[in-house]
């Protein structure tokens, strides 16, 4: 089918956004190649003028989107009521500019391959009156804990800047196999994405990647496991999981970098079969006000320790 001509006025949430990113948000079912084509051909107009891909929009600009052929797509799956209820109850803090959620393990932060919906889709359903909700950062699907969601573009860009400048302090709780040495307080590695064996892709140590650093504090030793607090200075993909595994103490329940045989012997009950990595605490300043939020540890942490 072919869409009609659309006229969209730029609001505060799109102020400063590149025109191509603006289109990606407004026309999610249209291939990016098609959107780039209408910009290059001059069919897309801003204030009746041709624009380039990198043109930035401003409040009050009028964007004319020409008729576009759109492929028919299946209607999105309805989000189950239990997930709507679970995510709503998991909100730890609501501010005019952001939400902080205690993300449950087992749900991705957004939809993707194999995931018909994620945290952000659930929240957009719950807060359908909210013009904008965007992830300020990410957590792995099986990682639980503090997750920030921005309510407007200004807040989103500010959070991105704060993460880059390490002005947001994130602390994780993690249970690992073995007795973590008390003197091992810092792990530094160069990491890169790529194949990690058995047809899996992930992160591995390399000489030509990105530098990463994690600080660890031993909380308590148990017979077969150690409880740690981890603070990340850099935010690389799977950073804590790779740092602990490469140090010889893999995260319990980690099906990518962990020890399957040890997990099998330890995680006997089905209710305990999780990855034991939790974003426990987040600290930052917002409009000169300190914010410190803690996400309670999931029940399965205490079950495993018992």
Angle at 38 between CA 34 and CA 40, to 5 degrees: 110
Beta strands at 62-65 and 49-50: parallel, antiparallel or unpaired: unpaired
Cα 300 to the center of its chain, rounded Å = 22
> What gap in Å lies between CA 2 and CA 113, rounded to an integer?
27
DSSP state of 79: P
- Percent of the chain as helix, strand, coil, to the nearest 5: 25, 35, 45
> What gap in Å lies between CA 107 and CA 83, rounded to an integer?
9
Question: Taking a C-beta distance cutoff of 8 angstroms, is the pair 237, 262 a contact?
Answer: no
Catalytic site positions: 140
Question: Where on the phi/psi map is residue 60: left (φ > 0), alpha (ψ -120 to 50), or beta?
Answer: left
Question: Taking a C-beta distance cutoff of 8 angstroms, is the pair 106, 241 a contact?
Answer: no
> What gap in Å lies between CA 303 and CA 271, rounded to an integer?
9
Q: How many angstroms separate the Cα of 211 from the Cα of each of 141, 155, 202, 248?
A: 23, 27, 16, 20
> What gap in Å lies between CA 236 and CA 238, rounded to an integer?
6
């Amino acid at each position: 089918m072919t869409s009609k001509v659309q006229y969209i006025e730029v609001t505060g949430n799109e102020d400063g956004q590149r025109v191509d990113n603006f289109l990606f948000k407004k026309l999610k079912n249209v291939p990016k190649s098609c959107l780039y084509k209408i910009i290059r051909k001059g069919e897309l107009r801003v204030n009746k003028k041709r624009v380039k891909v990198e043109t930035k929009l401003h409040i009050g600009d009028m964007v004319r989107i020409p008729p576009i052929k759109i492929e028919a797509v299946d209607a999105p799956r309805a989000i189950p009521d239990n997930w709507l209820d679970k995510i709503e109850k998991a909100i730890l803090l609501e501010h005019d500019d952001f939400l902080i959620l205690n993300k449950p393990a087992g749900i991705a932060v957004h939809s993707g391959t194999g995931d018909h919906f994620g945290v952000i889709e659930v929240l957009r359903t719950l807060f359908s009156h909210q013009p904008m909700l965007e992830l300020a950062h990410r957590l792995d699907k099986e990682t639980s804990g503090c997750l920030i969601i921005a309510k407007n573009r200004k807040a989103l860009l500010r959070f991105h800047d704060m993460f880059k400048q390490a002005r947001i302090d994130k602390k994780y709780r993690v249970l690992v196999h073995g007795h973590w040495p008390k003197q091992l307080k810092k792990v530094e590695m160069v990491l890169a994405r790529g194949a990690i064996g058995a047809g899996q892709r992930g992160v591995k140590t390399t000489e030509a990647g990105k530098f990463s650093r994690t600080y660890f504090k031993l909380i308590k030793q148990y017979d077969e496991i150690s409880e740690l607090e981890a603070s990340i200075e850099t935010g690389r993909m799977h950073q804590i999981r790779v740092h602990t595994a490469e140090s010889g103490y893999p995260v319990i329940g980690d099906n990518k970098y962990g020890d399957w045989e040890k997990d099998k012997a330890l995680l006997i009950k089905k209710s305990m079969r999780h990855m034991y990595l939790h974003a426990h605490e987040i600290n930052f300043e917002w409009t000169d006000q300190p914010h410190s939020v803690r996400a309670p540890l999931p029940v399965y942490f205490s079950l495993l320790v018992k």
